[in-house]
Structure 1
Amino acid sequence: MAHLLGGEHLHVEFPAKIVLEDVTVGIDGGDRIGIVGRNGDGKSTLMKVLTGRLEPDSGRVTMRGGVRVGMLAQDDDLPDDETVRHAIVGERPEHEWLGDARVRDVLDGLLRDVPLDTVVSGLSGGQRRRVGLARLLVGDWDVIALDEPTNHLDVEGIAWLAEHLAQRWARNAGGLLLVTHDRWFLDAVCTRMWEVHDGTVDPFEGGYAAYVLQRVERQRQSNVAETKRRNILRKELAWLRRGAPARTSKPKFRIEAATQLIEDEPPPRDNVELAKLATARLGKDVVDLLDAGVDYGAGPILKDVEWRIAPGERTGILGPNGVGKSTLLGLVAGAVEPTSGRVKRGKTVKVAVLSQRLTELDQYADERVRDVLALQKSSYVTGGKELTPTQLLERLGFRSSELSTPVRDLSGGQKRRLQLLLVLLDEPNVLILDEPSNDLDTDMLAALEDLLDSWPGTLLVVSHDRYLIERVTDQQYAIEGQGMRHLPGGVDEYLRRRAAARDAPTAGSPAPSVAAAGLAGADRRTAEKELSAIDRQMAKLTQRIAAAHTDLATHDHSDYVAIGTLNAQLQTMKSDLAALEERWLEVGESLGH
């Protein structure tokens, strides 16, 4: 594999911090490198130095002659007065770019909802970001550097981008540098990982799952003292290994020692125990949406929604931007009133929303973090342990020295963590998370997930972060046709349904047929991923059915209402399992199994 790009003895120092100290790295043909690390540790700085956007204080960047390097930075340099078409393809004649398969693929994958004649100044922030990404991807580059490319992309767009990058170059050609907190994306795209920390860069083979395996093993070998961090990683490793064995197929190293670390590691959550605690805190009634609909006058956003939310339910909501996810959450939280049907809430329900905006912190802008904590309750119980607000904040990555910082001076990620802390200290029993992964690095996301594992309430999550959705929720729904549709097959079923809707033949055109010879190439990889996901979903559902049987057997049989509810839930789960089994057979047949 030919050398494409690298840095030798790189040193970058800012006024209060050494970001990179004597760092030497290289990118060869075929490398797909994910860069991870805590916010502020130098991920974007390293990328800018390697792509020539920032001069190092010392050291040098090496590049093979003729190598073309393109970068998507976090800042926006689009010309406001140009149309979207001109910003992407410039002066190329229409017949030329329309005949270019790559341009058509990029426009279809990223900008299906954006008219090409729109002036850039009239776009939203998310649309501008996608136009910038499209402009980069239509070009011919030997090395592409992407800084948070999944921002403003939904689950469908992220899946498309992963597939595009996987097919863009031949196996041993091209190079990719990627900074993102999206762990599913890292695992789907990357063959190597760099962890930036304390001025150094540690290399790892494989994608994100392999990176977690190696981190745990390196910590074991070096007897690292960071007990809390190690325990969180062990739990995440246990989930990765149990829930999706296919994720660990990329590593090029021996994993026996790392596997031994989790032989006795329990599942991340005891769902039966959490459900009992949730029922004790909430009672039997949480929130019921009964034929609920919302119409602001321009046509229904939601209609005939029937959703009976159970105590301890952990549900992920999927759907493209603008389809009504936030409206649905507003119905549950009481911020939106239905224009048809009704919403019924239990008497003890206390809903809290972790919103995308940080307006909850505005009232504390001039207060120091420790003073904000002093206004809260004195303790919080998680996982059977009582923690002070300060201990809880430390668990979420704050250092004691940062407690004297005014809230207005906190970084975006720190504000996000403080916002979560204030929500938890208020002790809601229904927690709604609206894009909770914004501004959090991978370590902080793992810490958040660890905290949610022991949270004994009803959890509703809207997120484009596929890894987080699959990690903290037990079932998923999609907003589809102004209503809700259960997804027994999870995110893979959602993506399959979205693709089928796009590819559905119009009236009068012949329907496509499935080739009897089976699938090949990208279609085969997609089918294999779906089969793996169905296996995971079936295993989870089987566990839930077994727990429901146990609950029925031990419940007070004189409580006919509760028994009826439990039995109805059990029948729904059995029906979902049957649907999964049927889909498993369909996908297996297409693969020739």
Structure 2
Amino acid sequence: MNYLSAENIAKSFGDQWLFKNINFGISRGDKVALIGTNGTGKTTFLNILTGKIPADEGEVSIRKDIRVGYLDQSPAFDESLSVIDVIFSSNNPVAQVVKRYEHAIETDNHDELAEVMEDMDKFNAWDFEYRTKEILGRLGIHHTENLFGTLSGGQRKRVAMAKVLLEDPDLLILDEPTNHLDLDTVEWLENYLNTSNTTLLVVTHDRYFLDTVCNQMLELDHGSAYPYKGNYSYFLEKKAEREEMEAAGIDKARNLMRKELDWIRRQPKARGTKAKYRVDAFEELKEKASQKKFDTQMELNVRTSRLGSKIIELENVSKGFGERQLIKNFEYTFRKGDRIGIVGQNGMGKSTLLNMITGELMPDKGQIVKGETVQFGYYKQSDLVFNENQRVIDIVKDVAEVVQLGTGETVTVGHLLQAFLFSPSKQYDFISKLSGGEKRRLQLLLILIKQPNFLILDEPTNDLDIASLNVLEEFLLNFPGCLVIVSHDRYFLDRLVQHIFVFEGEGRISDFPGNYTELREYQDEQEAEKKSSGTNANGGKSNTTHVIQPVKETAAPVATAPVAPATPKRKLSYKEQKEMEQLESDIAKMEEQKAVLVAKLHEGGSHAELAQWSKQIEELTESQADKEMRWLELSENA
């Protein structure tokens, strides 16, 4: 069943076409991702589909009985309304009953609660109420009587998401839904959309999300749309093939144009004496040959300042606001080459820790000692304030006219802007014409060209397109200084970090040796153990920093002399000796196999490959544990 159709859609701003002749359709059960670089018009396209703005050309048709829910990037509601009024602003009678029920609980109004309980039974609204509790809880919306106007940008986005999910539309359109969500909530949303029957159109740059949730891709690229039937990994493969074919076609057209140009020049000047069909064909060929071959995989290699041996030491650092303790007795000494990820639910103090490290906030207790050579580059969630009437290149030139690369060469800021995906024409655009993602990209570049040796990135992936993320990741992989990242982008964390600070609440911060996927696997193992034993697998926790010790791949255990054996030991038989030797060989081989797989995980790959490698490591670990147990049994008798 076709839900939505768009035919020959076009939109221009001034004399420049953003896109033209776009044809698109979405049917029941489709989960489509709209992707493209910043500035290609993804949000504009969604606004046209939902009727928020008109198209300059073409027509959008939505099936009459279809309910559409739209979450845009910057939700706007009456700021005088309470959160619960915003969430339940639809005319659905079941939603209105649940709204009254939630209000009675929030205000502890027993009379209203007794009255509304009857209506809850009458409308059979308990299932809806359970769904409401789950969605609000998962999105961290607890104080529903607060006014919408008092909320932060991230809180507003989560309230709007709760509203659109509870309306349970037939067609759900989401613009950057994972921005401002913590990692646990992103994974919940991913699972929610995977298990629901909702038809989905989404704009997101979360590559794991694209691979897991979406079964179709629609790419906006230089004014045209390219559909792909498959997930993100399939799209990457087919996009590479398409670009290769287009590049070959442009090269062929250029070669042919040279011959045709020579023929045009050799003919009499009077156009009527030339073969008209050949002249027309030449004009078409000229248009194709003049197309540019775009390469978004460019190297960003900015020189960094020298970093001394003493970097930053945090000694028994504590910080709280009012009665709430965010950080308690945290200790850590930064070393050269540290690549640290920070994860935890919103409001647990991640940004507070970053602000204390940079000296913008003082701890309540303890001290932070900074080395003399440390130069911070701090990318914050809040936008930089730009002069909207200034041009892109002028803003960068205010910082530096030329930039020294890691190779020792110097380049102009124009070349550097191009390496960061600002085309020569885009460099002379006014800031007011940039998209949100382009402003974010410019903000990052301004930080990097100051040659910091200690980079702190607080949610750097918000609003950045995938091409920009690839450029940034390649730069950070080769960054020689210290790197601290707060991000909800799991792929980004898996590629770049070597250990993770886990904010657990009540001031506790744990240090996990590994990337995000390894942390989740460890947490799942701990949860499984907790359920099987019926006790808390972590036991009592202190308030000081501690290191999570995951199950490590262990080498063959060393036999030790038994202490006070209860019974005399016998000698191993020839068969048992051979078995013991074989076990040692098998255990060593398993170590090598796991080392190869772990290296592959760190290098990165598609979601399917990462899942497969993780499963193989788990199977090898289980098999190795069995063999080690048998080796121990034999060694006791050796």
User: What TM-score do the two structures reach when normalised by structure 2?
Assistant: 0.66
Match of 2:460 among 436, 443, 452: 436
Quick one: distance in 1 between partners of 2:477 and 2:521?
A: 29
Determine if contact 1:312/1:459 at 8 Å carries over to the other structure. Answer: yes
Are 2:206 and 1:182 aligned?
yes
Quick one: distance in 2 between partners of 1:12 and 1:290?
A: 57
Are 2:233 and 1:209 aligned?
yes
Matches within 5 A, 1:272-351: 281-296=306-321, 298-351=323-376
Are 2:136 and 1:107 aligned?
yes
Distance 1:444 1:488, change over 3 A: same
Match of 1:131 in 2: 159
Are 2:449 and 1:425 aligned?
yes
Quick one: distance in 2 between partners of 1:88 and 1:368?
A: 41
Determine if contact 2:71/2:174 at 8 Å carries over to the other structure. Answer: yes
Larger gyration radius, structure 1 or structure 2: 2
Quick one: distance in 1 between partners of 2:476 and 2:501?
A: 20
Match of 1:159 in 2: 187
Match of 2:438 among 406, 410, 414: 414
Supply the AA of the counterpart residue of 1:465: D
**% identical equivalent positions:** 32
Distance 1:44 1:194, change over 3 A: same
Unmatched runs of 5 consecutive residues or more in structure 1: 236-267, 515-534, 546-576
Match of 2:58 in 1: 59
Determine if contact 1:353/1:431 at 8 Å carries over to the other structure. Answer: yes
Distance 1:295 1:62, change over 3 A: closer
Q: Does the residue aligned with 1:223 lie in a helix, a strand or coil?
A: helix
Cα deviations by residue, 1:400-456 (Å, 9 ceiling, x for unpaired): 234344556644333333332232222111111112123322222222222323322
Instruction: Using the TM superposition, name which of 52-61 and 429-438 deviates more.
Output: 52-61
1:25 CA drift (Å): 1.5
Are 2:149 and 1:121 aligned?
yes
1:148 CA drift (Å): 1.6
Quick one: distance in 2 between partners of 1:134 and 1:536?
A: 45
Unmatched runs of 5 consecutive residues or more in structure 2: 89-94, 102-119, 251-291, 538-591, 603-613, 627-638
Match of 1:370 in 2: 393
Supply the AA of the counterpart residue of 1:487: F
1:504 CA drift (Å): 12
Are 2:507 and 1:473 aligned?
no
Matches within 5 A, 1:260-275: none
1:322 CA drift (Å): 1.5
Match of 1:168 in 2: 196
1:227 CA drift (Å): 7.7
Match of 1:8 in 2: 7
Determine if contact 1:333/1:352 at 8 Å carries over to the other structure. Answer: no
Determine if contact 2:314/2:332 at 8 Å carries over to the other structure. Answer: yes
Distance 1:416 1:59, change over 3 A: closer
Match of 1:552 in 2: none
1:381 CA drift (Å): 0.9
Instruction: Using the TM superposition, name which of 213-222 and 489-498 deviates more.
Output: 489-498
Supply the AA of the counterpart residue of 2:469: L
Determine if contact 1:6/1:27 at 8 Å carries over to the other structure. Answer: yes
Determine if contact 2:393/2:428 at 8 Å carries over to the other structure. Answer: yes
1:195 CA drift (Å): 0.5
Quick one: distance in 2 between partners of 1:540 and 1:315?
A: 22
Match of 2:254 in 1: none
1:321 CA drift (Å): 1.6
Quick one: distance in 1 between partners of 2:391 and 2:13?
A: 25
Distance 1:383 1:213, change over 3 A: farther
1:369 CA drift (Å): 3.7
Matches within 5 A, 1:551-570: none
Distance 1:408 1:179, change over 3 A: closer
User: What TM-score do the two structures reach when normalised by structure 1?
Assistant: 0.71
Match of 1:229 in 2: 295
Instruction: Using the TM superposition, name which of 188-197 and 442-451 deviates more.
Output: 442-451
Quick one: distance in 2 between partners of 1:136 and 1:544?
A: 36
Supply the AA of the counterpart residue of 2:482: T
Quick one: distance in 1 between partners of 2:54 and 2:535?
A: 54
Quick one: distance in 1 between partners of 2:523 and 2:162?
A: 21
Distance 1:487 1:98, change over 3 A: farther
Determine if contact 2:417/2:427 at 8 Å carries over to the other structure. Answer: no
1:490 CA drift (Å): 3.4
Are 2:220 and 1:196 aligned?
yes
1:137 CA drift (Å): 0.8
Match of 2:470 among 428, 446, 456: 446
1:35 CA drift (Å): 0.3
Determine if contact 1:156/1:495 at 8 Å carries over to the other structure. Answer: no
Supply the AA of the counterpart residue of 2:338: E
Match of 2:37 in 1: 38
1:382 CA drift (Å): 3.9
Q: Does the residue aligned with 2:336 lie in a helix, a strand or coil?
A: coil
Distance 1:418 1:46, change over 3 A: closer
Quick one: distance in 2 between partners of 1:65 and 1:299?
A: 51
Q: Does the residue aligned with 2:316 lie in a helix, a strand or coil?
A: strand
Determine if contact 2:36/2:219 at 8 Å carries over to the other structure. Answer: yes
Instruction: Using the TM superposition, name which of 101-110 and 379-388 deviates more.
Output: 379-388
1:366 CA drift (Å): 6.0
Q: Does the residue aligned with 2:501 lie in a helix, a strand or coil?
A: strand
Determine if contact 2:393/2:413 at 8 Å carries over to the other structure. Answer: no
1:64 CA drift (Å): 4.2
Q: Does the residue aligned with 1:221 lie in a helix, a strand or coil?
A: helix
Distance 1:536 1:438, change over 3 A: farther
Over aligned residues, Cα RMSD in angstroms? 4.1
Determine if contact 1:30/1:175 at 8 Å carries over to the other structure. Answer: yes
Q: Does the residue aligned with 1:471 lie in a helix, a strand or coil?
A: helix
Determine if contact 1:316/1:462 at 8 Å carries over to the other structure. Answer: yes
Match of 2:253 in 1: none
Cα deviations by residue, 1:80-99 (Å, 9 ceiling, x for unpaired): 34433343344134434443
Determine if contact 1:195/1:201 at 8 Å carries over to the other structure. Answer: yes
Quick one: distance in 2 between partners of 1:432 and 1:175?
A: 38
Quick one: distance in 2 between partners of 1:145 and 1:187?
A: 18
Determine if contact 1:33/1:193 at 8 Å carries over to the other structure. Answer: yes
Supply the AA of the counterpart residue of 1:133: M
Supply the AA of the counterpart residue of 1:56: A
Match of 2:609 in 1: none
Q: Does the residue aligned with 2:192 lie in a helix, a strand or coil?
A: helix
Determine if contact 1:316/1:476 at 8 Å carries over to the other structure. Answer: yes
Quick one: distance in 2 between partners of 1:537 and 1:160?
A: 30
Matches within 5 A, 1:478-557: 478-481=502-505, 482-488=507-513, 490-492=515-517, 511=534
1:485 CA drift (Å): 1.5
1:297 CA drift (Å): 5.2
Match of 2:488 among 464, 467, 470: 464
Cα deviations by residue, 1:517-556 (Å, 9 ceiling, x for unpaired): xxxxxxxxxxxxxxxxxx99976866999xxxxxxxxxxx
Distance 1:500 1:161, change over 3 A: farther
Distance 1:408 1:382, change over 3 A: farther
Quick one: distance in 2 between partners of 1:415 and 1:140?
A: 34
Quick one: distance in 2 between partners of 1:310 and 1:367?
A: 40
Determine if contact 1:487/1:493 at 8 Å carries over to the other structure. Answer: no
Supply the AA of the counterpart residue of 1:147: D
Q: Does the residue aligned with 2:495 lie in a helix, a strand or coil?
A: helix
